[in-house]
Amino acid sequence: MLATPSLPEPVLELRDLLNTYLEPEKVAVILRAFEVGALAHEGQTRKTGEPYILHPVAVARILANMRMDNHSVAAAILHDTLEDTPLTKENIEAQFGPEIAELVDGVTKLDKMRFRTRHEADAESFRKLMLAMSRDLRVIFIKLADRLHNMRTLGSMSHQSRRRIARETLDIYAPIADRLGMNSIKSELEDLGFENLFPWRHRTIAEHISTTTGNRREVIDNIKKALKKKMNEAGVPCQIFGREKTPYSIYKKMLSKDLSFSEVNDVYAFRIVTHSEPHCYMALGAVHALYQPKPGRFKDYIALPKANGYQSLHTVLNSPYGLPVEIQIRTEEMDVMAEKGAAAHWQYKSGEKFSGTAEVRARDWLMQLVDVQRHTGDSMEFLDGAKSDLFPDEIFVFTPKGKIIDLRTNSTALDFAYAIHTDVGNHTRKVLVNKVEVPLSTRLENGQTVEVITHPEVRPSPDWLEFVGTARARTAIRHYIRSLEQADTVRLGLRMLEKAFNARGASSDDIPQERYDRFLNDNHFKRMEDLLEALALGSLLANVVAAKLAPDSQAGSGGKTEALAIAGSEGSVVDFGACCHPVPGDPIMGYVSAGKGIVVHRLNCRNVREFRKHPDRCLNVTWAPIIKHMFQVALRILARNNPGVLANISNSVSEAGSNIEKVEQTDTNPETATLLFTLTVHDRDHMARVMRRLRRNRNVIRVGRINA
């Protein structure tokens, strides 16, 4: 261990703090971590000019103030060594064991990896941080303490860097602290972020707060004395504290409710901390007897804790001073949880870990994030989804068995299904809210009981993405759709290659596996599926690939050249030309467009002549015998310009069993109007029935299909 005189003053202060709650041998491990860290960071300085090692010491001090365990504090001192010094994870593990080494590795950012943009690097770093958190929550406690000290010393950075770091703090780190129930760190991160992002606004509001508080000191003291007297009369043992509003909390309320400063700050706020839950409800009755409560302003977060484990009673009273009084009532344990949240679980207290729901709820949230990232290929998408879940204006709903499910405000019935389990969401047939069937897009409200009815044949639809509100639901739906599209693409590529072989009088079964393997390797494909996808998407041409794989056969050498059957259900790899809107029954041809796949056109489309200049990309296609898909068709209607004519024509379309996708009015005069309708039909026969129905409409003068 280092000799005491050689320790810098901040380390001596840290040691003295650690000695108040840790055994000497555990303090010795932390001091040894300082010795190793100081040697590794030797010669490095921060932008403030001070030795770099004092930053990790300050981070460790923040954790020690939270009475965190010795592994967390030691890892905090070493947290920048892997990123900024030659020290390796193996070095740390050899000297301090695997637990501290894993914590340090989890905090380490990915700056040494190469990314296209800073945003991408930050997103990937965030993904790694979330995964490390899922293994050990202490990783994020160290990271939050690191960010807090960086924010406290941000003044030495450039103006642009201060704004960027402040924005990141408000967007990500303060919400994470809130999600973990760590209110004291959250509040300071928010206020420092606000101060550096909008310095003038912060200074103005802070000056107003200081002036207002000073002017009202006598009123605040009088209310506090009245509350204390009432608690004594009710026999409630307690401590009463004034709750100061931060500049950022006032700024947020001014923005969200469009209020002036005086309207936001005209509130007295107090916190009553007592011994037990029964005492909390006794205190509530006492304060309601002291001052009249405001209707609709009472919230019981003890019976229904917030998603981050926060518990307290909230009420607002009318004071005799003409201004409302906000009261929070909680037990001592709830007060610790409100300030430290999930971190309280690791608080060192006579060898016992603090009990509470924050740590359990934090793990539930992290497991949901892990599930989201498992199905998310893109770090930016994962970061966006996680950020959307970090601002949880929550609602609480119940399963039929009474289990509480917390969701974001504006979550839908389908979000609830995915919150139960991904498989439940994927197969949701209908949802009952309070025993009444509702659409899947229905927005849920607090206190509702929700039941999900599933069916094995139900599958996610792309339409679901338009109304779900949670990252978990969006990610699960996208993952399922992508897997379907990939399977469709591979099947189509296989059909295209097989027909190209047939045209040469060959078959895929005739090709030796070694030739396939050599072709895949030469063209940098890892799997056969990758080659088939490239064929379906037009990146490679099937006839070219067939010629290379079957060089001994020749096109037109007696093989059957059957047309490729199109059913309309091939997914995104088969598109239908918007220029001519082909429908089943139309003579058609296919054109293999690079990156898009097969685009189907009518043979009389004006673009076909241009396509014929590239015969290698032209494809012989036909309609499949059985088609269940709906297809778009474009009609031009000349109608009388009468009131209500559009509704009248729409009714005729509906009676013919067709849906209107789009309507445009291209020309009008006092007598007539030209309307362009895009409708959906099953085939040419259905289209003919729609046109006959329209011709019988007395407002329609002429109707015809738009020919490309």
DSSP letter for each residue of 134-162: HH-THHHHHHHHHHHHHHHTGGGS-HHHH
Provide the CA 230 distance to its chain's centre, in angstroms: 47
Please determine, for residue 361, whether its predicted confidence score (pLDDT) is greater than 60. Answer: no
Please determine, for residue 359, whether its predicted confidence score (pLDDT) is greater than 90. Answer: no
Question: What does the pLDDT look like over 301-357, one tens digit per residue?
Answer: 888 877 667 789 999 888 887 778 889 999 988 888 777 665 555 454 434 444 445
Of residues 196 and 109, more confidently modeled? 196
Average model confidence (pLDDT) across the chain:
80
What average pLDDT score do residues 613-631 get? 85
Q: What is the 3-state secondary structure (H, E, C) of 589-647?
A: EEEEECCCEEEEEECCCCCHHHHCCCHHHEECEEECCCCCCCEEEEEEEEEECCCCHHH
pLDDT for 238 equals: 92
Torsion angles phi and psi, residue 359, rounded to 5: -65, -40
Q: Tell me the pLDDT band of 31, cut-offs 50, 70 and 90.
A: very high
Of residues 228 and 254, more confidently modeled? 228
The secondary element (H helix, E strand) that includes residue 475 is helix 471-503
Q: Give the C-alpha distances (Å, rounded to integers) separating 656 from 194, 429, 681, 685, 689.
A: 60, 28, 10, 11, 7
Between helix 199-215 and helix 183-197 the angle, nearest 10°, is: 120
Neighbour-count burial of 50, counting CB atoms closer than 10 A to its CB (0-12 exposed, 13-18 middle, 19+ buried): middle
Reduced to 3 states, what is the DSSP secondary structure of residue 106? Answer: helix
Range of lowest pLDDT (226-240, 468-482, 620-634): 468-482
Q: Which residue has the tokens 């259905």?
A: 686
Please determine, for residue 116, whether its predicted confidence score (pLDDT) is greater than 50. Answer: no
Reduced to 3 states, what is the DSSP secondary structure of residue 165? Answer: helix
Q: Tell me the pLDDT band of 68, cut-offs 50, 70 and 90.
A: confident
Q: How far apart are CA 79 and CA 59, in angstroms?
A: 9
Provide the CA 682 distance to its chain's centre, in angstroms: 38
pLDDT for 550 equals: 80
Please determine, for residue 703, whether its predicted confidence score (pLDDT) is greater than 90. Answer: yes
Q: Where are the domains of the chain?
A: 4-196, 204-346, 368-478, 483-623, 631-705
- Choose, from 83, 277, 326, 339, the residue flagged as catalytic: 83
**Long-range contacts of range 44-50, CB-CB < 8 Å, 24 or more positions apart?**
44/84, 44/85, 46/153, 46/156, 47/156, 47/157, 48/153, 48/156
Phi-psi group of 685: left, alpha or beta (phi > 0 → left; psi -120 to 50 → alpha; rest → beta): alpha
Strand partners, 331: 274
- Scored b (16 or more CB within 10 A) or e, 659-688 reads eeeeeeeeeeeeebbbbebbbbbbbbebbe
Q: Give the C-alpha distances (Å, rounded to integers) separating 127 from 74, 103, 122, 370.
A: 24, 16, 9, 9
* Residue 83: active-site member: yes
Structure tokens at 365: 């949230």
pLDDT for 286 equals: 92
Q: How far apart are CA 628 and CA 686, in angstroms?
A: 13
What average pLDDT score do residues 160-173 get? 85
Q: What is the CA radius of gyration of the chain?
A: 34
The secondary element (H helix, E strand) that includes residue 597 is strand 597-602
Of residues 491 and 133, more confidently modeled? 491
Which residues contact residue 685 at a Cβ distance below 8 angstroms, ignoring those fewer than 6 apart? 585
Please determine, for residue 105, whether its predicted confidence score (pLDDT) is greater than 50. Answer: yes
**Contact assessment for residue 550 and residue 543, using Cβ atoms and an 8 Å cutoff:** no
pLDDT for 556 equals: 56
Q: How far apart are CA 174 and CA 124, in angstroms?
A: 19
**Percent of all residues in the chain with a pLDDT value above 90, rounded to a whole number:** 23
pLDDT for 498 equals: 83
pLDDT for 135 equals: 64
Torsion angles phi and psi, residue 591, rounded to 5: -130, 125
DSSP 546-571: HHHHSTTS-TTSS---PPEEE-S-SG
Provide the CA 488 distance to its chain's centre, in angstroms: 28
- Choose, from 84, 99, 326, 381, the residue flagged as catalytic: 84
pLDDT for 113 equals: 37
What average pLDDT score do residues 7-34 get? 90
pLDDT for 638 equals: 92
Please determine, for residue 385, whether its predicted confidence score (pLDDT) is greater than 70. Answer: no
Of residues 1 and 636, more confidently modeled? 636
Neighbour-count burial of 226, counting CB atoms closer than 10 A to its CB (0-12 exposed, 13-18 middle, 19+ buried): middle
* Secondary-structure class of domain 631-705 per CATH: alpha beta
Q: Tell me the pLDDT band of 689, cut-offs 50, 70 and 90.
A: very high
Of residues 74 and 533, more confidently modeled? 74
Question: What does the pLDDT look like over 657-679, one tens digit per residue?
Answer: 888 878 888 777 888 889 899 88
Q: Which residue has the tokens 């059909």?
A: 495
Q: Tell me the pLDDT band of 280, cut-offs 50, 70 and 90.
A: very high
Among residues 629, 637, 627, 628, which one has the least CA distance to residue 678?
Answer: 637
DSSP 396-420: EEE-TT--EEEEETT-BHHHHHHHH
pLDDT for 327 equals: 92
* Residue 84: active-site member: yes
Q: How far apart are CA 177 and CA 165, in angstroms?
A: 16
On whether the 4-196 domain is CATH 1.10.3210.10, my answer is yes
Range of lowest pLDDT (79-88, 528-537, 630-639): 528-537
pLDDT for 494 equals: 84
On whether the 204-346 domain is CATH 3.30.460.10, my answer is yes
Please determine, for residue 377, whether its predicted confidence score (pLDDT) is greater than 60. Answer: no
Q: How far apart are CA 338 and CA 424, in angstroms?
A: 34
- CA-angle at 456, arms to 454 and 458, nearest 5°: 75
Reduced to 3 states, what is the DSSP secondary structure of residue 436? Answer: strand
What average pLDDT score do residues 224-250 get? 87
Q: How far apart are CA 325 and CA 168, in angstroms?
A: 34
Please determine, for residue 174, whether its predicted confidence score (pLDDT) is greater than 80. Answer: yes
pLDDT for 308 equals: 65
pLDDT for 574 equals: 81
**Contact assessment for residue 65 and residue 20, using Cβ atoms and an 8 Å cutoff:** no
What average pLDDT score do residues 482-492 get? 74
What average pLDDT score do residues 168-188 get? 81
What average pLDDT score do residues 144-172 get? 87
pLDDT for 285 equals: 92
The secondary element (H helix, E strand) that includes residue 702 is strand 700-705
Amino acid at the residue 692: R
Q: Tell me the pLDDT band of 143, cut-offs 50, 70 and 90.
A: confident
Please determine, for residue 707, whether its predicted confidence score (pLDDT) is greater than 60. Answer: yes
Q: Which residue has the tokens 């339409």?
A: 463
pLDDT for 194 equals: 92
pLDDT for 77 equals: 94
Of residues 602 and 215, more confidently modeled? 602
**Contact assessment for residue 264 and residue 324, using Cβ atoms and an 8 Å cutoff:** no
Q: 368-478 — its CATH code? A: 3.10.20.30
Question: What does the pLDDT look like over 493-528, one tens digit per residue?
Answer: 888 888 888 877 778 777 888 888 888 888 888 888
pLDDT for 459 equals: 80
Please determine, for residue 111, whether its predicted confidence score (pLDDT) is greater than 50. Answer: no
pTM here is 0.51
The secondary element (H helix, E strand) that includes residue 452 is strand 450-454
Listed ranges 23-32, 169-178, 468-477; the one with the highest mean pLDDT: 23-32
Provide the strand spans (E) within 236-380. 238-242, 268-274, 292-293, 299-300, 313-318, 324-331
pLDDT for 28 equals: 93
pLDDT for 624 equals: 86
pLDDT for 130 equals: 59
Question: What does the pLDDT look like over 394-409, one tens digit per residue?
Answer: 677 788 887 767 777 7
Structure tokens at 699: 């407002």
Q: How far apart are CA 353 and CA 345, in angstroms?
A: 5
Q: How far apart are CA 35 and CA 39, in angstroms?
A: 6
Question: What does the pLDDT look like over 209-222, one tens digit per residue?
Answer: 777 766 677 888 88
